[in-house]
Structure 1
Amino acid sequence: MEQWKKNLAVLWFGQFLVMGGMTMIIPFLSLYLQSERIGLTNKHEIATWAGVIFAGNFVTAFLFQPLWGKLSDRYGRKMMLLRSGFGMAIVMILMGFATSPWHLLLLRMVNGTISGFNPAAVSLISVSTPKERMGFAMGTLQSGGIAGSILGPFMGGLLADAVGYRPIFYLTGSLLFLASLLAYFIVRESFNRQEAAARPNLSVIDGFRQLSRVPQLMSLFAVTFLLQFAIIGPMPLMPLYVQDLHGTVVNLAFWAGFVGSAAGLSNMVAAPLLGRLSDRIGQERILGISLIGAAMMFIPQAFADSVWQLLLFRLLQGCFLGGLIPSVNSLVRRFTPDGMESRAFSINSSMLSLGNMIGPIVGGFISGWTGIRGVFLISSALFVINAVWVRQTLVSKRAASGGAEQE
């Protein structure tokens, strides 16, 4: 097997475990806070702590990702990959020993601080994969993270009933440690430290300023933010929307979870396929089609008359969403100056965390103003605006440069 394929296989497994571990606590976090070891009893207090603890990871991840990107470009992507993997494994195991909500919040924030597996993995794949296979590799890598995000809560719920809450943290931490070991022994990176050390040692802010001068990168970062904003924003509102469509039923939580994860399921399947197609017809084209397609699929969701209609349109939307991140990652690599790849992917990852933080807050605010259906319509409008921006910065400028070259 070629080395880039070995790298891709191992990092797919790592992405799956990292995202699964970060989302596995969703079904039982509130229950864990009520357990004997922690002992919260007030429902309002439990709900508040659960939200703060879950968000804590994304707050620190948003702040620290650019720092790890800078160090990755200077000392190597594999080193940052292993730092993050082994670090998160230890933190995850320590969560099983928590005795207060403050312990869990602190550990989640530490987990976000040391995270960086995803941008390091994407950066490493981007420099080790042949250009003609870049879309396929990025799509496949994305499918691992999505699979973990979807199956993480499902596995967490099953394991909580089977073995209790604390063993889940020990098991997840052990699997993260195993994935990091596999990366240590199997993943290979071609990295010239002397050449990296000879480059100007820009600060995080100076590096961002340099990358922000590339308009293509700014529009791509906006795609990443809007994608996560659109996926996460309606999630807290989904049970209420399903209830409006389906009425009060015993299995309301199941239907809400199924509808919420539907886009992720089709996204997971479509991402490698659209990534492979982008290698043939171009990432810009796939990105533009996916943005417009995803925008159009928001509209029928806002006017759905039944849960089945909502589910169908969520599944169709996931197919378009599957073409976004692989195309974005491939294009970020193309437009990023040499030696700054990890910085660019880390900023892109920070935009993902920002979407995770802001999406539910803004979604709730918009819902109070326009109703739940208005969240879908406004998300659709934002995607259309972003598609126009992408066309102006990517497609138009490429066509202009191509015409200049012909002259």
Structure 2
Amino acid sequence: MEQWKKNLAVLWVGQFLVMGGMTMIIPFMSLYLQSEQIGMTNKHEIATWAGIIFAGNFVTSFLFQPLWGKLSDRYGRKMMLLRSGFGMAVVMTLMGFATSPWHLLLLRMVNGTISGFNPAAVSLVSANTPKSRMGFAMGTLQSGGIAGTILGPFIGGLLADAVGYQPIFYITGISLFAASVLAYFVVKESFNREKAAARPNVSVIQGFKQLSRVPQLMSLFAVTFLLQFANIGPMPLMPLYVQQLHGTDVNLAFWAGFVGSAAGLSNMIASPLLGRLSDRIGQERVLGISLIGAAVLFIPQAFVHSVWQLLLCRLLQGCFMGGLIPSVNALVRRFTPDGMEGRSFSLNSSMLALGNMVGPIVGGFVSGWTGIGGVFIISAVLFVVNALWVRRTLVSGARRNTGALRRGSS
């Protein structure tokens, strides 16, 4: 097997375990706070702490990703990959020993601080994959993360019933450690440390300013933010919306979970297929079609009259969503100046974390004024605006602007 395929296979497993481990605790976080080990009893306090603890990871991740991106450009992507993998394995294991909500919040924030497995994996794969297979590689890697995100809560719920809450943290830690060991022995990267050390040691702020001069990158980062914003924003409201459509409490939790994961299921299947298609017809075209398709399918979700209609819309929308992140990652690699790939992918990861933070807040605020349907309409409008922005920046002067920046940076 070619080395880039070995890298892709191992990092797919790593993406699955990392995203699965991060989402595995979602179904029982509030229940864990009520356990004998933590001992909380006030329902309002439990709900508040559960939200704060869940968000804490994304706050520090948003702040620290650019720093790890800078270091990956200087010392190598594999080093950052292993730093994040082994570090998160330790932190997740320690969560099993927490005895107060403050302990969990601190550990979640530490986890966000040291995270960076995803951007390091994407950067490493993009740097070591033949250009003709870039779309396929990005789509396949994306499917691993999506699979972990979908199956994580399901597996976490099963394990919570089978073995209790604490052992899940230990199991997750062991899984992350095993994935990191596998990456250490199997994954190889082509990285010239002498050449990287010879480049000017640009600060995080200066690096961001340099990347911001590439209009294509700014529009691509916006796609990443909006994708996560639109995915996560309606999630806290989805059980209420399903209850409104379903009209009964029978199997409500099942239907809410099924609808919430529907887009992820079709996304997981579509990502490698659309990635392969983008290698043939171009990432720009697949990205544009995916943005418009996802925007159009937000609209009927605001006006459905049954859970089945909502489920069908979510499944179809997931197919278009599957073309977004792989295309974005491939295009980010193309438009990023040489030697700044790690920074660029880390900034993209920061936009992902920002969408995770802002989405539920804005979604809750908007639904209070317009109802849950208004959240879908606003997401549709934002996607259309972003599609026009992407088309304008990618089509007009893309290679000329990037070439000028690369000559300037050298």
Which bin holds the TM-score, normalised by the shorter protein? Answer: over 0.9
**Counterpart code for 2:250:** V
What is the distance in 1 between the residues matched to 2:240 and 2:88?
A: 34
* The 10-residue stretch of structure 1 (155-164 or 390-399) with the greater mean CA deviation from structure 2: 390-399
Structure 1 segment 3-402 matched on structure 2, within 5 A: 3-398=3-398
2-structure distance, mates of 1:297, 1:397: 31
SS of the residue 2:202 aligns to: coil
Q: Which amino acid aligns with 2:35?
A: S
Amino acid at match of 2:204: V
- Report deviation, 1:249: 2.1
Shift of 1:369: 1.1
Q: Write the distance in 1 (CA, Å) between the matches of 2:400 and 2:116.
A: 36
Work out the CA distance in 2 between the residues paired with 1:120 and 1:399.
25
Q: Counterpart amino acid of 2:379?
A: S
CA distance in 2 between counterparts of 1:19 and 1:176 reads: 10
Q: CA RMSD in A?
A: 0.9
CA distance in 2, matches of 1:394, 1:92: 40
Superposed displacement of residue 398, structure 1? 4.6
What secondary structure sits across from 2:310 in the alignment? helix
Whole-angstrom CA distance in 1 between matches of 2:214 and 2:169: 42
5+ long unaligned stretches in structure 1: 402-407
Secondary structure of 2:339's match?
Answer: coil
Equivalent pairs counted in the alignment come to 401
Q: Distance in 1 between matches of 2:237 and 2:28?
A: 19
Partners in 1 of 2:109 and 2:96 — Cα distance? 15
Distance 1:285 1:238 in 2: 31
User: For residue 2 of structure 2, what is the aligned residue in structure 1?
Assistant: 2
Following TM superposition, by how much is the alpha carbon of 1:400 offset from its aligned partner in structure 2, in angstroms? Answer: 8.8
Unmatched tracts of structure 2, length 5 or more:
402-410
What amino acid is the match of 2:109?
A: M
Structure 1 length normalisation: TM-score? 0.98
* Aligned partners of 2:88 and 2:173 also within 8 Å: yes
Deviations along 1:107-164, one digit per CA (max 9) or x if unpaired, are: 0000000000000000000000000000000000000000000000000000000000
The structural deviation recorded for 1:243 is 1.1
Q: Secondary structure at the match of 2:210?
A: helix
The whole-number CA distance in structure 2 between the counterparts of 1:399 and 1:99 is: 55
| Equivalent-residue separation in structure 1 for 2:395 and 2:236 (angstroms) | 36
Cα displacement string for residues 308-343 of structure 1 (whole angstroms, at most 9, x for unaligned residues): 000000000000000000000000000000000000
Q: Which moved more, 1:197-206 or 1:390-399?
A: 390-399
Give the distance between the partners of 1:248 and 1:57, measured in 2 at CA.
35
Aligned equivalents of 1:77, 1:137: Cα separation in 2: 17
Judge which range, 55-64 or 239-248, deviates more: 239-248
Please say if residues 216 and 398 of structure 2, whose CA atoms lie closer than 8 Å, have aligned partners that are also in contact. no
% identity of equivalent residues:
86
How far 1:248 sits from its partner (Å)?
2.2
CA distance in 1, matches of 2:38, 2:302: 41
- DSSP-derived class of the 1:27 partner: helix
Report the CA distance between 1:223 and its aligned residue: 0.1
* Pair 1:250–1:88, CA change in 2 (3 A): same
CA distance in 2, matches of 1:396, 1:241: 42
Distance 1:399 1:179, change over 3 A: closer
Give the Cα separation in 2 of the matches to 1:205 and 1:46: 38
Moved runs in structure 1, 4+ residues, more than 4 A? 398-401
Q: How far apart are 1:253 and its partner, in Å?
A: 1.2
Question: Tell me, what secondary structure is at the counterpart of 2:26?
Answer: coil
Distance in 2 separating the partners of 1:64 and 1:170: 25
The answer for the alignment partner of 1:405 in structure 2 is none
Q: Which amino acid aligns with 1:384?
A: V
Q: Distance in 2 between matches of 1:79 and 1:399?
A: 31
Alpha-carbon distance in 2 for matches of 1:355, 1:53: 17
Q: Distance in 1 between matches of 2:292 and 2:245?
A: 26
Distance 2:312 2:399 in 1: 37
Quick one: distance in 1 between partners of 2:230 and 2:44?
Answer: 27
Deviation at 1:220, TM superposition (A): 0.1
